[in-house]
Structure 1
Amino acid sequence: VKAGGRIWISIIGLTLFESVMDFTQPVFLEAVLNFITKFNKDAPQDVSLGIILAFSMFIAVVVGAFVGCQVLQISKIYGLRVKAGLTSMIYRKSLKLSPRARREATVGEISNHMAVDVSRICEGIAQATLVISSPFEVAIGMWLLYRQLGPSCFMGLGVVILMTPVQGWIAGVLVRAKHKKLKAMDGRVRLLTEIFSGIKI
């Protein structure tokens, strides 16, 4: 955290700014549609207002896409740095294991830590922006929907809440499957290590 504090501050700031840009697009679109509706009536508004609204919506799309790419790039680079540091740390630690620890920690477990667990942490860092922006986006999205649909917009939120246990069950199944996969990988690496050791002898 100390090493990447500034990076996380920039990621959080850019992520929230990207969310704001994403939600300004429907606001500008609503304004453009209202302008077109009023323009076709007896009291049309100035054409320059429509041009400004359309240009503002275009700028919001471009800026939002640019900021989103920057967030993805920064988080990926930071994740790769963390991955390199953790892999190096695990490798150095594996070289200094005591004989007792070597008997408890197999080569397969160490390989899984270096290949699977570290990669998962790296992917988690890249996906952490969703954890940061999701509550903010849900709140703003519900507010915009409430303006358009009224209380009926909460039906969609209720369906999402009701589906949460199903999503949790699916996540549990996936986690158990990954644990079985890691055990199989551990056994495979252990078997190959024994085979290669026998070949050396």
Structure 2
Amino acid sequence: MWMLSPHRTIPAVFTCTLALRVVMILLESTEKRRILVPQHKGYSMEVTSGTFSRSVFFWLTSLFVNGYRNILRLDDLYPLDPELASGPIYRKLAEAWDKVPDKTVPGALFNTWLRTFAGPMSAAIVPKLFQIAFNYAQPFLIEEAIRLASQPQTQPYNNRGFGLIGAYALVYTGIAVSTGQYDWRNQRASSITRGSTTALVYRKALRLDLTSPNVSPSGALTLVGTDTETISQGITQLHEVWGGLLEIGIGIYLIYRQLGAACAMPVALVFGMRTYWILQVA
């Protein structure tokens, strides 16, 4: 507003209002661990940290410093977030699984897990969207920087240049924060998958009739050791599926803005190579 308006009253009021809001956000985001009631003092730093501390993972600083100075022991690690504890998430999944009428349907366990933990699973959607938006803001920044550099210098202080510097800082800070938040929430969903399904497999193993010739006691260990880990790693890739499709669409549109109908050539090339690869495998 300081750049656009010749008057100073409205920009000054807006700046004061913005400053007060920033102060309120900082006060609200300040860690309040020291004033917690006794029953909540045992919570992890991850739970009690403020918004900014969790956004940039500043709450891990004390652990890193301790690990730099000393050899970390188990007691030095932060307490586990109650939302990741195996007991509660196992009971939640077990209750939903017991209500499934036909457990032999393909994908029954996966669909039950998605319905049960839809909240933690969908928590990574917003950071993923911000990550895509910030990534694809870079071509526009480069285009604007080239356009600005090609113009003659007409004034001692170029407001557009200062605005472009701020835009670059915002975009690359946003990329770092959104990527960190996306990976963090993805790993939380993966941990929930591992904790809930492993306990469910153990419950099933304890109820097996070992005298039956169709029962393999070592099968449960395979599920816990290998298959559960594979599933938990696959959970982290679910958002990459729709995110990749969205990025492809945006990328094709950006190419179309520059080249027109020629944007169809890379798409045709990709589909052609994919078809050839499938035919070779088949």
TM-score (norm 2): 0.54
Letter of the 1:145 partner, please give it. I
Say yes or no: does 1:138 pair with 2:251.
no
* Closer, same or farther: CA 27–60 of 1 in aligned 2, 3 Å: same
The residue that corresponds to 1:60 in the other structure is 171
Say yes or no: does 1:7 pair with 2:120.
yes
Letter of the 1:122 partner, please give it. S
* Closer, same or farther: CA 142–119 of 1 in aligned 2, 3 Å: same
The residue that corresponds to 2:186 in the other structure is 75
The residue that corresponds to 2:228 in the other structure is 118
Letter of the 2:217 partner, please give it. V
Letter of the 2:204 partner, please give it. K
1:76/1:126 contact within 8 Å kept: yes
The residue that corresponds to 2:216 in the other structure is 106
The residue that corresponds to 1:97 in the other structure is 208
Larger RCO (CA under 8 A, 6+ residues apart): 1
Give the counterpart of 2:147 among 34, 38, 60: 34
Q: Which sections of structure 1, spanning at least 5 residues, go unmatched?
A: 174-201
Give the counterpart of 1:85 among 176, 188, 196: 196
1:55-98 deviation digits (Å, cap 9, x = unpaired): 20231121122111111111111111211111111112111102
Identity score, percent = 21
Once the 2 structures are TM-superposed, how far is the Cα of residue 48 of structure 1 from its aligned partner? 1.6
2:128/2:243 contact within 8 Å kept: yes
Once the 2 structures are TM-superposed, how far is the Cα of residue 166 of structure 1 from its aligned partner? 4.9
* Closer, same or farther: CA 35–166 of 1 in aligned 2, 3 Å: same
Q: Secondary structure at the match of 1:103?
A: coil
CA–CA separation in structure 2 for the residues paired with 1:46 and 1:166: 57
CA–CA separation in structure 1 for the residues paired with 2:271 and 2:157: 45
Once the 2 structures are TM-superposed, how far is the Cα of residue 30 of structure 1 from its aligned partner? 0.7
- Which structure is higher in helix share? 1
Once the 2 structures are TM-superposed, how far is the Cα of residue 169 of structure 1 from its aligned partner? 6.8
Letter of the 2:256 partner, please give it. Y
1:29/1:57 contact within 8 Å kept: no
Q: Secondary structure at the match of 1:38?
A: coil
Aligned length: 169
TM-score (norm 1): 0.74
Letter of the 1:137 partner, please give it. E
Letter of the 1:72 partner, please give it. D
Give the counterpart of 1:161 among 271, 274, 277: 271
Q: Secondary structure at the match of 2:178?
A: helix
* Closer, same or farther: CA 159–105 of 1 in aligned 2, 3 Å: farther
Q: Which sections of structure 2, spanning at least 5 residues, go unmatched?
A: 1-113
CA RMSD, 1 decimal:
2.4
Once the 2 structures are TM-superposed, how far is the Cα of residue 45 of structure 1 from its aligned partner? 10
1:75/1:126 contact within 8 Å kept: yes
